[in-house]
């Protein structure tokens, strides 16, 4: 997961996650925050650990084989009527329905993982990676997948260098992978980027690929309220969980208007486990659903969508545990027994179309 801690507020700051009680507000009003302050160029390095997607019963098509991946988007314009970016090095994954949450995990199933073989390194890599391709999902501005071809047998890993170009200067982030593809997450909508890939081994670095450019599309107003200049409202903070989760990455919290803390633990920026707690230092509990599998819990991360959730087990298939629960979107939550004989289901991950920790 490629979090950007230099852009996330620390809990010591005066506006920390709006910790003040706002009881006079409506229970589920979206949170307003002041415009983001421009940040100077900052270099961030992240090491990625690749987790192979779950194998399907039949052989999964690669993106080169699938009819969903095209050189042109199905629609030339995005949700706000702006023209989508088209270039020879850009490929669009089409077919996502407007009410379907964006999913890094689903897109990565078209990019099979390769097992790194034994490499007898004799010198640093001599040749740059070739055929660098930006794969973007139509309707999903917050991430892209970069794909390239290995051209040097001495290469054991790659540095992927992403540069956000804007009126306030450049922001550079670097991640490392041993595959010939990687997801680049937490991109801003309607923003310009440049990407390049540099081969490496224990003896040194090789020449980088030619840089490729890309501009993200507009944020979809059907997913969430898009406030211009809205800063990320999530604060990285380790919390105690009643752990039933497929996600084991970084933890973020935010204060809500309804006197609860929402906590998320990331699988990636678009798949996470959502918890609720009465206090920042107390236990964060699962959220149960009396009438489904938590699809409407995306409301807790400010998404208008009904989410994709997993693993969808009936309550009698789940251990009995205490937590917060409700039946419908907008309802207040109750606290009590879930799972077991309660007829209240809970799930281990959510995809809501909202990247967390959000826009920078």
DSSP letters along 225-294, please? ---TTBPP--EE---EE----S--S-EEEEE-TTS-EEEEEEEETTEEEEEEESSSSSEEB-EEESSSSS
Q: Of 215, 237, 261, which residue is a domain's last?
A: 215
Helix (H, G, I), strand (E, B) or coil at 15: coil
Question: Quick check: pTM over 0.85?
Answer: no
Percent of the chain with pLDDT over 70: 81
Q: What is the pLDDT of residues 176-189, one digit of tens each?
A: 999 999 999 999 99
Q: Read off the pLDDT of each residue in 177-203 and give the average, rounded to a whole number.
A: 96
Within this chain, do residues 107 and 90 fall inside the same structural domain, yes or no?
yes
Query: 143 in a domain, yes or no?
Result: yes
> What domain range is 113 assigned to?
37-215
Helix (H, G, I), strand (E, B) or coil at 358: coil
Place of tokens 């996470």: 272
Give dist(CA 80, CA 214) in Å, integer: 18
Q: Count up the domains in the chain and report the number.
A: 2
Contact 359, 232 (CB under 8 A): yes
Within this chain, do residues 23 and 54 fall inside the same structural domain, yes or no?
no
Query: 358 in a domain, yes or no?
Result: yes
**What rounded mean pLDDT belongs to the chain?**
84
CA-CA distances (angstroms) from residue 109 to 80, 112, 183, 251, 350? 29, 6, 12, 25, 18
Query: 338 in a domain, yes or no?
Result: yes
Neighbours of 218 (CB within 10 A): 17
Q: What is the pLDDT of residues 228-269, one digit of tens each?
A: 444 558 999 999 998 789 999 999 999 877 789 999 999 999
| Per-residue pLDDT at 266 | 97
pLDDT band at 49 (very low <50, low <70, confident <90, very high): very low
pLDDT band at 23 (very low <50, low <70, confident <90, very high): very low
Q: Does the pLDDT at position 78 exceed 70?
A: yes
Give dist(CA 41, CA 160) in Å, integer: 17
Q: Read off the pLDDT of each residue in 156-160 and give the average, rounded to a whole number.
A: 96
pLDDT band at 46 (very low <50, low <70, confident <90, very high): low
């Amino acid at each position: 997961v490629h979090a950007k801690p230099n852009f996330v507020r620390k809990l010591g700051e005066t506006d920390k996650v709006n910790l003040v009680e706002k009881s006079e507000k409506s229970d589920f009003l979206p949170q307003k925050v002041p415009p983001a302050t421009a940040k100077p160029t900052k270099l961030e390095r992240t090491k990625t650990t690749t987790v192979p997607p779950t194998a399907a019963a039949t052989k999964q098509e690669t993106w080169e084989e699938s009819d969903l991946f095209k050189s042109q988007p199905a629609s030339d314009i995005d949700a706000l009527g702006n023209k989508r970016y088209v270039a020879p090095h850009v490929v669009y994954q089409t077919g996502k329905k407007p009410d379907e949450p964006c999913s890094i995990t689903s897109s990565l199933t078209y990019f099979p993982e390769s097992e790194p073989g034994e490499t007898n390194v004799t010198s640093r890599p001599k040749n740059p990676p070739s055929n660098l391709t930006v794969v973007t999902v139509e309707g999903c501005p917050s991430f892209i997948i970069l794909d390239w071809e290995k051209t040097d047998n001495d290469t054991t890993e790659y540095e992927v260098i992403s540069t956000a170009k804007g009126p306030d200067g450049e922001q550079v982030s670097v991640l490392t992978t041993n595959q010939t593809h990687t997801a680049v997450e937490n991109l801003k909508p309607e923003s310009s980027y440049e990407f390049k890939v540099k081969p490496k081994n224990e003896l040194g670095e090789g020449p980088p690929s030619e840089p490729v450019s890309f501009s993200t599309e507009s944020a979809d107003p059907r997913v969430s309220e898009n406030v211009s200049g809205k800063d990320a409202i999530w604060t990285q903070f380790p919390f105690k969980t009643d752990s039933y989760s497929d996600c084991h990455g970084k933890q973020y919290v935010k204060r809500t208007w309804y006197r609860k803390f929402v906590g998320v633990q990331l699988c990636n920026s678009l798949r996470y486990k959502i918890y609720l707690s009465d206090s920042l230092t107390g236990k964060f509990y699962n959220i149960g659903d009396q009438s489904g599998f938590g699809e409407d819990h995306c409301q807790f991360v400010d998404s208008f969508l009904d989410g994709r959730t997993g693993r969808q087990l009936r309550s009698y298939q789940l251990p009995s545990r205490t937590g917060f629960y409700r039946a419908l979107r907008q309802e207040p939550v109750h606290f009590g027994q879930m799972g077991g004989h309660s007829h209240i289901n809970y799930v281990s991950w959510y995809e809501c179309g909202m990247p967390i920790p959000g826009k920078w």
